Structure 1
Amino acid sequence: MKKQKINGTIRVIIAISAIALFAVNYLPIWQIDLDAPQYPEGLELYIYASKLAGNVDIINGLNHYIGMKTLHTEDFIEFKVLPYLISLFSLLILITAITGSRKMLYTVFILFVIFGIVAMVDFWKWEYDYGHNLDPHAAIKVPGMAYQPPLIGFKQLLNFGAYSIPASGGWIFIGTGVVLLACSGLEFRKQKKNKLSSSAALAVAFFSLFAFSSCESGPQPVKAGIDQCAYCKMGISDLRFPCEVITQKGKLYKFDDIHCMLEFVNSPEWDKNNVKNYYLTDFSQPGQWLPAENALLLKSEELKSPMGGNIAAFSNEAGIKAAMKTFNGEQVTWKDLIL
């Protein structure tokens, strides 16, 4: 039965993933970020395997006014069970690495996928109950309004923008699943005597465990008539002028023109050190993003941008010179604007 043993290098990678998975017990698995004008730095809710953390008290205070349940760790049985389940899977994965059993690898992978699916279904159910079961005697009532946070991604809830994304522990959890998938696939193909570049497959598996925890977000497309400006709260309609800010934590803010973006980041409540990147739309190619520091900028009152910023961005000299034939103005620099 020796031929049924897992490759030694793969066993090492599986063992590392087991240790990483156990660390998820001490890291935030999921985070929900809330952004609103009255909270320029945002509110954060972190979900660990055994507790809630972040701005829980402030969020509970807001929930009280709109009739949502307040959040308390002791109200969730999941926080009592989840650490044991994560530890159990960590142990099973480690045993798989030690024994080198292919059959156990396949079994643990399937069980781990089922565990992940059940966990997400349970999370969605909690979010649904949390956003729909409202106190009818709440101080603020909006007929027909529900406040269910998004399972993943962004959703507008009244004047709050809610972002729901995996936190560091969640990315490690996902990465562990990818490692198990890659290792199972590699071993299965080997078992079927198909040729496979093991070095490439192992590199993908090993890298996947850590790559997910450092995913970076870039600028996102603007949906005309749907997306709102983070500063003035008006709908974004003219796709020649939108701007975006991405913070050090990966939060993204959209603006209808450069005026609103500058007003937002220059407000007393905002710290410019929180900003990682500024992006401007290429006036000549709406939908194409330019890093603000690389853009060529034309300031002209004739541009008539949505909020009076009247500044257009271009990617090259030909574009800005062509525009200056139509719009009488002057060329300015990003450095001058952001000071």
Structure 2
Amino acid sequence: MLQNQKLLQSSPPILPPTAPLQGQSSPSLPALKQSCKLSRRELSISSNSSLLLLWGTQALEPIFNLSKARAEENLPKTNKNEQEEENLNCTNKIATKRAFLDISIDGKPVGRIVIGLYGDNASAGVARFSSLVSGTAGISYRRKEFIKIMPNYVQHGGVRSYGVDAELANSTGSNLAVENLKQEWERNYEQCTGTKNLAGTVSIIVRDPSKPPPKLKLVARKGKLEIDQEEVGKEPNGTEFVIATKDSPELDASALVVGRVLEGMEVVEKVGLVKTVQDNTSSPYFRVAKIIGDKRAVVAERGFNRPYSKVVITNCGLME
């Protein structure tokens, strides 16, 4: 019995079984069982080694996860910094030229508004506004009225795209098309996030977001019936502008920011306090008339928020 215990304790380490050489017989089953037996000490050492390996893997896993998290964190930070820099360029624009508007209410002068124009950020819009302020387009904002006063902004009526104004524009070769203004508005709208028409900004109205889609109709051309699109309503001609008295996100879908008020914001606020025709769109009578297409509802809607007093630009131009 003691000899068997000594034999087990002094048994050599287990080696992987090898194929028997030629001329040698395979080991017997009792011999294989005896070679597979391990002592408690050997089992303990083997178990401790496995535990150490498992513990080392678990200890390194948080380090790998931390490195991976830091790598992922660095990537969004780069994109975030680029976005912040882009937004900074959108909000902190530099005025390349200045324009002025002298305002009167019911014939009484109330002061001058000085506007800084963003020639580098909205070149097409600034060119249009500058040509109308200076009169180089053959037409000007001079002696033209503000037609709408809203809680967050005041709107100037611009110049007409018909009649005398159109004739003067055509004689100087000016183009009142708004396609290039729309393209510039789309580019700035996608590039800059957040509210564009902040308090004190000046913007040109380039599109009407409430305009209904065109109607389809059959038209006879050269003896054939073709489907044509009929535009409903008219788009703005790119000469109307607004000055925001407060942050006006509702203007972002229709107006291109071309500058900001540098001096005379108190004059803009005086214009904003002028009494206007009451907005009656909540009336059930107006709603019914609007639904059935009553022209009186359309006429009434055009008059909402119009000032009772006459607010006019008496003089305007570019400043050196």
TM-score if structure 1 supplies the norm length?
0.19
Q: Which has the larger radius of gyration?
A: 2
TM-score if structure 2 supplies the norm length?
0.20
Higher helix share: 1
Q: Which has the higher relative contact order, 1 or 2, with Cα contacts under 8 A spaced 6 or more apart?
A: 2
